[in-house]
Amino acid sequence: MTNKLSDKDKKDWQNFINSSEKLKSKEPEQASNQLILERSIDLHGFTLEEANEEISKFIENCYLNKVKKINVITGKGMRSKNINDPYQSSDLSILKYSVPEYIKNNSELMKKIIKIDFESVDSPSKGNFDIILKSIK
């Protein structure tokens, strides 16, 4: 590969930077009065109890601060030490499955939630899922 720029490349670059034409934004359009807030939490390395406590506090905090979407990173559970333990559920001992199940079974949290993206939870290639929160009243 050569590191030298051709004269045509240099000319094209100069034309581009001198142009008053603006590049179109690839961000989704939204009304100026509409505020979309998104937050993320990474639960890698947490125990089941720690993760459940942390996600409860996080959802409550996001709800009170008018956050609309939460991305929960749990990991895929591929390196879980619990996976080979015959005395534990192979699914519910892994955060990827236990955290959404905990949220779904917590009626106080579900009062604040519109939707949990269970398709991401069920996908073996994903280690995260989204939660859409209701607006605070």
Q: Is the pLDDT of residue 87 over 50?
A: no
Q: What is the pLDDT of residues 103-129, one digit of tens each?
A: 999 999 999 999 998 776 666 667 889
- What domains are there in the chain, each with its CATH number? 31-133 (3.30.1370.110)
Q: Is the pLDDT of residue 88 over 90?
A: no
Q: Which residue has the higher pLDDT, 59 or 77?
A: 59
Q: Which residue has the higher pLDDT, 38 or 86?
A: 38
Q: What is the pLDDT of residues 2-22, one digit of tens each?
A: 678 888 888 888 888 888 777
CA angle 118, 131, 51 (to 5 degrees): 90
From CA 5, how far away is CA 87, in angstroms rounded?
64
pLDDT for residue 99 = 92
> Which residue bears the tokens 């590191």?
3
Output the average pLDDT for the chain. 80
Q: Is the pLDDT of residue 132 over 80?
A: yes
- Radius of gyration of the chain from its Cα atoms, rounded to whole angstroms: 22
